[in-house]
Amino acid sequence: MNAHANDYSTNEMMTVAASRRLGNGNVCFVGIGLPSKAANLARLTHAPEVVLIYESGPIGAKPSVLPLSIGDGELAETADTVVPTAEIFRYWLQGGRIDVGFLGAAQVDKYGNINTTVIGDYHQPKVRLPGAGGAPEIAGSAKQVLIILKQSHRTFVDKLAFITSVGFGEGGEHRKQLGLPGNGPVGIITDLCIMEPESGSNEFVVTSLHPGVTREQVIENTGWAIRFADDLGETAPPTEHELGALRALEARTAAAHGQSGGDE
């Protein structure tokens, strides 16, 4: 049963919509924060056989609470196995064994390129961000990539100050010309909508609005002239099962860590 419009937050809608993009049995390389929350929600609902891999080495992690970092012991304790980080990247990722890379971002552009390095001039930045971590390699080599972040003029920008992780580069065939083996980002999921790359140009266009969200809201919160698909849809609202699993996960995390995890 679907939840009522007033029964869930925009953040919950974003997390649920993102979780639905993971298929049962997918091998998923997970980023900490929002990607981890969405991926674990998928595992707890429609995709119990999803294989979650984290940069620190856990394979098949099944945390009962959301990890604070890739070094969180909960990941190793619940994993099927733990291998060296070098094996995660060389054998699993670069070996073509990762179905989905699930990434967050500080900023993204119309071609799915990600910035997690700096805001402003690189040498004298306004803000120094957390940095790349394993995201450039995940974006480059995973068979496909999902990106999740809240949408605003600050996060959806016309030109990135720094490209940390390549999506489709300058659009069109640029990613292939760069020689990147993965297929690139297939979806950007926000608290307002879902975007997917347009065939040919690989520019991200809105394919689904979340319930109650207008085109004008999306336009106001995007730093480029965002376009909408001809067959624009509406995202199905969260079900009671999805919301229940998400809220229980957040409650367990809050009890363990004093925070719900994955909110940024």
Residues with a catalytic annotation lie at 55
Helix-helix angle 10-19:240-257, to 10 degrees: 110
Cα(114)–Cα(106) distance, rounded to whole angstroms? 7
Burial environment of residue 185 by CB neighbours within 10 A (0 to 12, 13 to 18, 19 or more): buried
Contact 116, 129 (CB under 8 A): yes
Burial environment of residue 245 by CB neighbours within 10 A (0 to 12, 13 to 18, 19 or more): buried
